[in-house]
Protein backbone atom coordinates (compact mmCIF):
# COMPACT_ATOMS: atom_id res chain seq x y z
CA UNK A 1 0.00 0.00 0.00
CA UNK A 2 1.30 3.44 -0.89
CA UNK A 3 1.57 6.13 1.77
CA UNK A 4 0.02 9.29 0.23
CA UNK A 5 2.64 11.55 1.78
CA UNK A 6 5.51 9.41 0.44
CA UNK A 7 5.59 11.31 -2.85
CA UNK A 8 9.25 11.86 -3.55
CA UNK A 9 10.44 9.82 -0.52
CA UNK A 10 13.39 7.53 -1.18
CA UNK A 11 12.99 5.31 1.88
CA UNK A 12 10.32 2.93 3.08
CA UNK A 13 10.03 4.26 6.64
CA UNK A 14 6.68 5.26 8.07
CA UNK A 15 6.65 9.04 8.21
CA UNK A 16 4.70 9.10 11.48
CA UNK A 17 7.82 8.65 13.62
CA UNK A 18 11.23 10.28 13.16
CA UNK A 19 13.12 6.97 13.26
CA UNK A 20 10.46 4.93 11.51
CA UNK A 21 10.12 2.25 14.18
CA UNK A 22 10.61 3.80 17.61
CA UNK A 23 7.61 4.21 19.85
CA UNK A 24 7.81 7.57 21.62
CA UNK A 25 6.85 5.96 24.93
CA UNK A 26 8.77 2.75 24.32
CA UNK A 27 11.44 3.44 26.94
CA UNK A 28 10.59 6.43 29.11
CA UNK A 29 12.98 8.18 31.50
CA UNK A 30 10.94 9.64 34.37
CA UNK A 31 12.85 12.19 36.48
CA UNK A 32 11.39 12.41 40.01
CA UNK A 33 12.19 14.69 42.93
CA UNK A 34 10.64 12.91 45.92
CA UNK A 35 8.04 10.31 46.84
CA UNK A 36 4.98 12.56 46.36
CA UNK A 37 6.28 13.88 43.06
CA UNK A 38 7.14 10.35 41.89
CA UNK A 39 3.64 9.07 42.63
CA UNK A 40 1.91 12.06 41.02
CA UNK A 41 4.14 11.86 37.94
CA UNK A 42 3.70 8.10 37.55
CA UNK A 43 -0.07 8.46 37.87
CA UNK A 44 -0.06 11.24 35.27
CA UNK A 45 1.93 9.00 32.89
CA UNK A 46 -0.12 5.84 33.47
CA UNK A 47 -3.01 6.62 31.05
CA UNK A 48 -0.52 6.89 28.18
CA UNK A 49 0.63 3.27 28.57
CA UNK A 50 4.42 3.48 28.30
CA UNK A 51 6.11 0.24 27.36
CA UNK A 52 9.05 0.64 29.76
CA UNK A 53 9.70 3.18 32.54
CA UNK A 54 12.96 4.05 34.27
CA UNK A 55 12.65 6.40 37.24
CA UNK A 56 15.53 8.83 37.71
CA UNK A 57 16.50 10.67 40.86
CA UNK A 58 19.33 13.20 40.72
CA UNK A 59 21.28 13.58 43.94
CA UNK A 60 22.55 17.13 43.84
CA UNK A 61 26.16 16.72 44.82
CA UNK A 62 28.53 19.62 44.52
CA UNK A 63 32.11 19.59 43.42
CA UNK A 64 33.93 21.27 46.30
CA UNK A 65 30.80 22.79 47.85
CA UNK A 66 28.60 21.45 50.64
CA UNK A 67 25.82 19.11 49.53
CA UNK A 68 22.21 20.30 49.94
CA UNK A 69 21.44 17.16 51.94
CA UNK A 70 23.64 14.28 53.12
CA UNK A 71 24.15 11.74 50.34
CA UNK A 72 22.68 8.93 52.47
CA UNK A 73 19.51 10.95 53.03
CA UNK A 74 19.27 11.73 49.31
CA UNK A 75 19.73 8.07 48.42
CA UNK A 76 16.95 7.09 50.84
CA UNK A 77 14.73 9.73 49.22
CA UNK A 78 15.56 8.17 45.83
CA UNK A 79 14.55 4.70 47.04
CA UNK A 80 11.23 6.05 48.37
CA UNK A 81 10.66 7.74 45.01
CA UNK A 82 11.39 4.51 43.11
CA UNK A 83 8.96 2.60 45.33
CA UNK A 84 6.26 5.17 44.57
CA UNK A 85 6.83 4.79 40.81
CA UNK A 86 6.73 0.99 41.16
CA UNK A 87 3.35 1.24 42.89
CA UNK A 88 2.04 2.35 39.47
CA UNK A 89 4.59 0.62 37.18
CA UNK A 90 5.72 -2.54 39.03
CA UNK A 91 8.43 -3.36 36.49
CA UNK A 92 9.95 0.13 36.44
CA UNK A 93 13.71 0.39 36.50
CA UNK A 94 15.63 2.98 38.46
CA UNK A 95 18.70 5.11 37.93
CA UNK A 96 20.38 7.40 40.43
CA UNK A 97 22.63 10.18 39.16
CA UNK A 98 24.96 12.46 41.12
CA UNK A 99 25.80 16.00 40.10
CA UNK A 100 25.12 19.71 40.46
CA UNK A 101 23.64 20.28 36.97
CA UNK A 102 20.30 18.44 37.10
CA UNK A 103 19.53 18.91 33.39
CA UNK A 104 22.94 17.53 32.35
CA UNK A 105 22.40 14.50 34.61
CA UNK A 106 18.97 13.90 33.08
CA UNK A 107 20.47 14.01 29.57
CA UNK A 108 23.29 11.64 30.56
CA UNK A 109 20.81 9.22 32.15
CA UNK A 110 18.62 9.32 29.03
CA UNK A 111 21.63 8.24 26.98
CA UNK A 112 22.67 5.56 29.51
CA UNK A 113 19.24 3.90 29.62
CA UNK A 114 18.66 4.49 25.89
CA UNK A 115 15.44 6.39 26.58
CA UNK A 116 13.08 7.12 23.71
CA UNK A 117 11.74 10.13 25.62
CA UNK A 118 12.15 12.11 28.81
CA UNK A 119 8.75 12.49 30.48
CA UNK A 120 8.22 14.95 33.31
CA UNK A 121 5.57 16.89 35.16
CA UNK A 122 6.20 20.49 36.19
CA UNK A 123 6.26 20.94 39.94
CA UNK A 124 4.82 23.45 42.34
CA UNK A 125 2.21 26.13 42.33
CA UNK A 126 4.17 28.98 43.84
CA UNK A 127 6.10 31.40 41.67
CA UNK A 128 9.52 30.39 43.00
CA UNK A 129 8.90 26.72 42.20
CA UNK A 130 7.59 27.68 38.75
CA UNK A 131 10.69 29.78 38.15
CA UNK A 132 13.03 27.01 39.28
CA UNK A 133 11.26 24.18 37.46
CA UNK A 134 10.69 26.49 34.50
CA UNK A 135 14.43 26.95 34.14
CA UNK A 136 14.89 23.18 34.18
CA UNK A 137 11.94 22.74 31.82
CA UNK A 138 13.47 25.21 29.38
CA UNK A 139 16.80 23.37 29.47
CA UNK A 140 15.05 20.04 28.93
CA UNK A 141 13.02 21.11 25.91
CA UNK A 142 15.77 23.11 24.24
CA UNK A 143 18.82 20.88 24.80
CA UNK A 144 17.62 17.28 24.82
CA UNK A 145 18.72 14.72 22.23
CA UNK A 146 15.46 12.77 22.66
CA UNK A 147 11.86 14.01 22.70
CA UNK A 148 10.68 15.61 25.93
CA UNK A 149 7.08 15.08 26.98
CA UNK A 150 5.51 17.43 29.53
CA UNK A 151 2.61 15.76 31.33
CA UNK A 152 -0.36 17.82 32.38
CA UNK A 153 -0.26 18.88 36.01
CA UNK A 154 -3.75 17.94 37.14
CA UNK A 155 -3.22 18.73 40.82
CA UNK A 156 -4.44 22.08 42.07
**Closest by Cα among 117, 116, 113 to 96:** 113
Range of the domain at 121: 24-151
In contact, 43 and 24? CB cutoff 8 Å: no
In a domain, 6, yes or no: no
Of 144 and 133, the one with more pLDDT? 144
> Residue 134's pLDDT band (boundaries 50, 70, 90)?
low
| Mean of the per-residue pLDDT values of the chain | 81
Q: Which residue did the predictor score with more confidence, 123 or 143?
A: 143
pTM to 2 decimal places: 0.77
CA proximity to 55, closest of 6, 109, 125? 109
CATH of the domain at 104: 3.40.50.620
> In the chain, how many domains are there?
1
The 10s digit of each residue's pLDDT in 20-37 is 557 999 999 999 999 999
pLDDT digits (tens, 9 = 90+) for 52-106: 999 999 988 766 656 567 788 889 999 999 999 999 999 999 999 998 888 999 9
**How far, rounded to the nearest angstrom, does the alpha carbon of residue 142 sit from its chain's CA centroid?**
14
User: Residue 43 falls within a domain, yes or no?
Assistant: yes
Q: Is residue 57 part of a domain?
A: yes
Amino acid sequence: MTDPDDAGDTDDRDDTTPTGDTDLLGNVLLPVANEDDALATARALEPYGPERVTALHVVEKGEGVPDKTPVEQSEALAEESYAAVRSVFPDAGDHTAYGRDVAAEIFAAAETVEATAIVYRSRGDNRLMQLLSGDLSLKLVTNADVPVVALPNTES
